[in-house]
Amino acid sequence: MIRPQDLANVVFCIQEAHRYVALSKFDKARAICGMAVHQLNELLQHEKDPNFPTAVRLGHYAMGWFSKLSIDPGAVLDMSKKLQWLSSTIYGAQWTPVIQFGQGLSSMDIAACDVQPMAITLPDFCKEFTCECKEVEATPGLDGFGDLCQDLLPNCSFVSSLLAIHELGLGKELEKLVIYNKEVAKVKLHINGCARELHISTELPFVRPPHEDRFMFVRSSSNEKLLWPALIEKAYLVAMGDGYNFSGSNMAQDIYMLLGWPPEVRKISQMSLASLGEFWTLKEKGLVTLGIGTGLMSESLASQLKVVPGHDYVICGYTNEKLVLKNPWVGRSGARLLEVDASVFGNFTYLYLNWNVDELYKHSTSMSVICNPSKSEVLLLGRPQYSLVNDNDEKEEVGIAVEQFLSTQEHITPYSVDVFEKAKGKVVYPTQYVMAAGGKVITSRGCFMKLELAPKSEYTVVISGPQTKELFSVKLWSNSNKVKFSKAVLQYPHKNEIEDSWGSNDNGGHWALESYIDNPQWEIEVKKRVRKMFVGLSCDDNADVNFHILHVEKSKSLRKIRNFDKSKLLFCDDYSPRIHHHELHDVEPGKYRLVVSSYDANFKGHFRLLVMNDGDKDAVTLEKVPKALGLYNVADEFEWKNRNRFRITLRSSLPVNEVVVKLQAGKEPQTLSSYRPAMRASIFDGLTQEPVVINNKWNDSVYGVFVDGVLKKPEHDYILLVERFETGEGTCRVSLGSSSKLSIKGEIIKD
């Protein structure tokens, strides 16, 4: 004899084997799968039992799994499937993924024999409404289904969803969602990326006298024995986390959980009545469900329209003149249907759509993925990304659905789903490519979009936004096997990622300021020719940012630039808000200087720098350039006082002291438009007067005048002679960097 309990035990073992594989506990998975095989071997001795065919199909599946676990257990489930099994716990309840055993048999076809104990939360309306739980016998059938209604529980979205599905003639599909075994029921819902099953008791909360004519659960006003929808509702409330203390949803999300049809919510303010007519035509063909929501609405307007604010209705009739709505709640008059003049359509807030994708499309694929919080609001690397390619010579329409998994969070973490066109692989920044769809913040669990792909085109789908670790499922539907959907790959295999900041001493501002050369700088050494190199700079604050790349001579390696020489620029772009990026092609070997800057020199904030390339592994290296002039730095200033020469005595404590001198005009930072006297400087031996460095050229560079020299003698005086082209007033700032300690003493030379 093959008892239902025996089959249920086998299914449980197979499910546990899946769970252990997801946890990478392969020995336990193989052991419990072996138990299933052993149990089935005993059951298969009863060939004349009515349940024998079911045992045979389970046996084929279990043996196949046992074999795979013995050969390569790590390859039995891909990461997407593992995530589905690892996300089975939802608000403390175990929602096991439905397993397809083949030949039309699934785990949902095997009745449950035990129930997971769980507390069902009841609402605290008031003292006069108290409940007691009673086991019910759910009579099958659809008699009275069109009269389902809500009562005490404010779950208009769920009841409207049941009615909308029945409107399409799919009541039998709903009945398949629940299977009973005495006091235990098994319910299937689409949640967390797949169809899942939950074992619940058949107890329902009944209101005690004197209000026994009121109901906490969905019921039929014409058939009191139609109770199986209430068992689906009970499982649904468990999934929502609040039990009968329901906090709200919407029709689109609820129909997705019931049928697996992807949800779409449209704002009616952005629609026309004609577009509603188009949806009605699709609804009549069974391709979409239609619901409408009042949203936030004034009491006066709601009274005028005879609707309830924050309420969902089924659209069950449409003409150019009027809409016919079905109310999930039965009022005192008992009237369920409401005729609304088409001219007031714009006063409603939401249109709820669920698409029958199995009829609309021929092919589908799905993935589940972890979305980790990003350190940057604008950097898309690290976000889940998918390549979408149309290899056809013709346009192709696709449907894309994204669902954020439920776990124990009280609210959905806002996210966005963006599609970028002509993108090859992973997208780095949202400004990198043209956005073909998306660009909106989504605050519901699931969303759906239709997209028309151009012939021979490439797109990238990006999920971004969550600031906490979340799981998502992504599904794609198409009508051509030449539409490919896969995880996106970064087209630059080698990446340098740097986090740094602009502070009070290292934000030089834009290139027209004297302080520009004090901006953070990196030396890029290209050792082998690189076909493509991508450089990106991002800042989460509202700042205009830019970077410049210049050729540098080998002799000036790791030395801060002293001028902004446009002739050495590889390219010249304008500053852009928060993000700046550029792709270079065919970069030849050599040394380059990368300078990152904010337009505003007073801005302080963090930035992220990316340098990526598609060359050999060690073809490109980065090294930060020291900001200081030397290991030791001193600074002073003097006033010209209508003279044109100033002498500074330099004394080094060690021999062979390399010195860099920088002269700047004025007390305040200079700009290109500022007046600056031309200056020059030379270095002489203080004793012999022999020249160490002679400079005959006058220079009025906004970035300063530089002199390099070597003081070879220790404890010896050298003279730095600073000259001005013409006499005058003003301040001269002197900065000196050296390889060892240096003392200075200045004096004006009298004529």
Domains of the chain: 4-109 (no CATH), 132-359 (3.90.70.10), 361-482 (2.60.120.380), 494-624 (2.60.120.380), 632-748 (2.60.120.380)
Tell me the CA distances in angstroms from 137 to 227, 234, 697, one per residue in order: 8, 15, 102
Q: What is the Cα gyration radius of the chain? A: 37
Q: Is pLDDT of 422 > 80?
A: yes
Exactly one of 9, 155, 250, 327 is catalytic; name it. Answer: 327
Q: Using a pLDDT cut of 90, give the percent of the chain over it.
A: 75
Report the pLDDT averaged over residues 453-473: 91
**Pair of tokens at residue 626:** 């020291």
pLDDT attached to residue 127 = 67
311 is catalytic: yes
> Is the CB of residue 700 less than 8 Å from the CB of residue 544?
no
Residues present in the chain in total: 751
pLDDT attached to residue 554 = 83
In sign, the C-alpha dihedral spanning 498, 501, 505, 511 is positive
pLDDT attached to residue 448 = 96
pLDDT attached to residue 750 = 59
pLDDT attached to residue 124 = 72
156 is catalytic: yes
What are the backbone angles phi and psi of residue 112, rounded to the nearest 5°? Answer: -75, 150
Name residue, tokens 């303010």: 269
Tell me the CA distances in angstroms from 93 to 99, 108, 112, 238, 537, one per residue in order: 18, 17, 15, 7, 45
Residues 339 and 580: their CA atoms lie apart, in Å, by: 55
Per-residue pLDDT tens for 694-712? 999 999 999 999 999 999 9
Contacts for 610 with CB less than 8 Å, ≥ 6 apart: 379, 381, 428, 495, 496, 497, 498, 534, 535, 536, 537, 538, 581
Would you tell me how many other CB atoms lie within 10 Å of the CB of residue 457? 18
Average pLDDT along the chain: 92
Q: What is the DSSP letter of 496?
A: E
Return the closest-CA partner of residue 494 out of 372, 621, 608. Answer: 621
**Pair of tokens at residue 717:** 């005086």
Return the closest-CA partner of residue 520 out of 598, 572, 587, 591. Answer: 598
**Pair of tokens at residue 618:** 């060690």
Confidence of residue 409 (pLDDT cuts 50, 70, 90): low
H or E, element range at 55: helix 52-71
Report the pLDDT averaged over residues 524-543: 94
Pairing assessment for the beta strands 263-267 and 350-355 based on DSSP bridges: antiparallel
Which range among 192-201, 329-338, 566-575 shows the weakest confidence by mean pLDDT? Answer: 329-338
pLDDT attached to residue 103 = 84
Burial tier of 633 (Cβ tally within 10 Å: 0-12, 13-18, 19+) = middle
**Pair of tokens at residue 18:** 């899946």
Per-residue pLDDT tens for 59-102? 999 999 999 999 999 999 999 999 999 999 998 899 999 999 98
Report the pLDDT averaged over residues 259-276: 93
Residues 551 and 591: their CA atoms lie apart, in Å, by: 6
> Is the CB of residue 9 less than 8 Å from the CB of residue 111?
no
pLDDT attached to residue 167 = 93
Confidence of residue 747 (pLDDT cuts 50, 70, 90): confident
Residue by residue, DSSP assigns 255-281 as: HHHHH-PPEEEEEGGG--HHHHHHHHH
Residues 640 and 730: their CA atoms lie apart, in Å, by: 6
Pairing assessment for the beta strands 337-341 and 219-220 based on DSSP bridges: unpaired
Per-residue pLDDT tens for 40-53? 999 999 988 999 99
Report the pLDDT averaged over residues 307-311: 88
Residues 191 and 93: their CA atoms lie apart, in Å, by: 13
Residues 575 and 582: their CA atoms lie apart, in Å, by: 12
Which range among 193-202, 354-363, 666-675 shows the weakest confidence by mean pLDDT? Answer: 666-675
The torsion angle over the Cα atoms of residues 21, 24, 27 and 29, rounded to 10 degrees, is: -20
Exactly one of 33, 149, 156, 539 is catalytic; name it. Answer: 156
pLDDT attached to residue 408 = 57
Burial tier of 502 (Cβ tally within 10 Å: 0-12, 13-18, 19+) = buried
Backbone dihedral region for residue 193 (phi beyond 0: left; psi -120 to 50: alpha; all else: beta): left
Beta bridge pairs of residue 94: 89
Exactly one of 18, 311, 510, 580 is catalytic; name it. Answer: 311
pLDDT attached to residue 372 = 87
Beta bridge pairs of residue 710: 658
Beta bridge pairs of residue 388: 459, 485
E strand segments, 632-730: 632-639, 643-652, 657-665, 679-685, 691-693, 705-711, 716-728
Per-residue pLDDT tens for 128-171? 788 888 999 888 999 999 999 999 988 999 999 999 999 999 99
